[in-house]
């Protein structure tokens, strides 16, 4: 009965551990957005002039056009005034821009900055993809890994600047990529005008177990210890069962011993 109870107990613990492990949620890539009347934001990092994309030359999908400005303004590390980089045909606004970081990099954060006082053109709307391919993966989004999508809500009229930061909500890295495909999408008033695209280097991967993970592995450790104890207990019982059984003296042996004792006492 005790062995049966042990089996039930450890089986229950093992089930709980598996359930907890299955319920541990993965971290998510979450965009944060903000409008601002100045180049200072409360929840968006400042435009960088030392990020991974600094100075590189973005390329535009050959089938698309620039309405105004230059893609070089995206990676020069400064806030440009006016139509710094208005992507896509006017009133359409859909266009793809590719960034080649030169080698696969660990990315901790991606920040984009807009500058246009018109409500629809200050609203950032795009999907972002990444690839670690050693060669150019082209313009088809199916050749990339989806990272995040952005669609700024609210009316940015008169705010002049918009900011977006894309990062892991648990503080981890966005991923490791060489190529970034920025699929800018129209919002009805044309493509947004941008003034910055920052790619912030991430930290080297450090395994720090979450509390849920620690609890799961602790339960699994207890289950394993319990199974080991149960095995040793069964082995011990089996050895006892297999040991030869010692039988008591027969009645003839007892009589013979008493006679020997009597003779010794009568001498």
The alpha carbon of 10 is separated from its chain's Cα centroid by a whole number of angstroms, namely 31
Q: What is the mean pLDDT of the chain?
A: 77
At 212 the pLDDT is 55
For the packed helices 211-242 and 2-23, what is the interaxial angle rounded to 10 degrees?
Answer: 160
pLDDT above 70 for 91: no
Whether the Cβ atoms of residue 95 and residue 186 lie closer than 8 Å to each other:
no
Query: Which of the residue ranges 46-55, 121-130, 241-250 would you say has the lowest mean pLDDT?
Result: 241-250
Query: Which of the residue ranges 48-52, 158-162, 165-169, 198-202 would you say has the lowest mean pLDDT?
Result: 158-162
At 189 the pLDDT is 61
pLDDT tens for each residue of 209-223: 555 555 555 655 665
198 CB neighbour count, 10 Å cutoff: 23
Whether the Cβ atoms of residue 144 and residue 131 lie closer than 8 Å to each other:
yes
pLDDT tens for each residue of 6-31: 444 445 544 544 444 444 444 689 89
Neighbour-count burial for 76-114, b at 16+ CB within 10 Å, e otherwise: beebbeebbbbbbbeeebbbbbbbebeebbebbbbbbbb
Number of continuous H segments (helices) and E segments (strands) in the chain: 3, 10
């Amino acid at each position: 009965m005790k062995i049966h109870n042990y089996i039930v107990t450890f089986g229950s613990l093992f089930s709980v551990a598996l359930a907890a492990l299955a319920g541990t949620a993965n971290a998510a890539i979450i965009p944060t957005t903000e409008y601002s009347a100045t180049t200072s934001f409360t929840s968006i990092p400042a435009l960088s002039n030392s990020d991974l994309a600094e100075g590189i030359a973005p390329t535009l999908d050959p089938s698309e056009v620039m309405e105004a400005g230059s893609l070089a303004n995206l990676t020069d590390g400064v806030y440009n005034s006016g139509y710094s980089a208005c992507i896509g045909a006017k009133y359409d606004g859909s266009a793809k821009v590719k960034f080649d970081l030169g080698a696969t990099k660990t990315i901790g954060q991606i920040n984009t900055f807009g500058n246009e006082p018109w409500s629809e053109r200050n609203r950032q709307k795009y999907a972002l993809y990444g690839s670690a391919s050693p060669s150019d993966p082209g313009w088809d989004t199916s050749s990339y890994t989806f990272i995040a999508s952005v669609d700024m809500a609210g009316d940015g009229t008169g705010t002049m600047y918009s900011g977006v930061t894309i990062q892991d909500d648990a503080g981890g890295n966005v991923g490791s990529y060489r190529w970034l495909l920025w699929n800018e999408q129209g919002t009805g008033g044309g493509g947004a005008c941008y003034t910055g695209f920052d790619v912030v280097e991430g930290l080297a991967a450090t395994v720090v177990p979450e509390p849920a993970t620690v609890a799961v592995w602790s339960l699994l450790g207890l289950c394993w210890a319990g199974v080991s104890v149960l095995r040793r207990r069964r082995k011990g019982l089996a050895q006892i069962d297999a040991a030869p059984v010692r039988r008591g003296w027969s009645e003839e042996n007892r009589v013979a011993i008493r006679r020997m004792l009597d003779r010794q006492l009568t001498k």
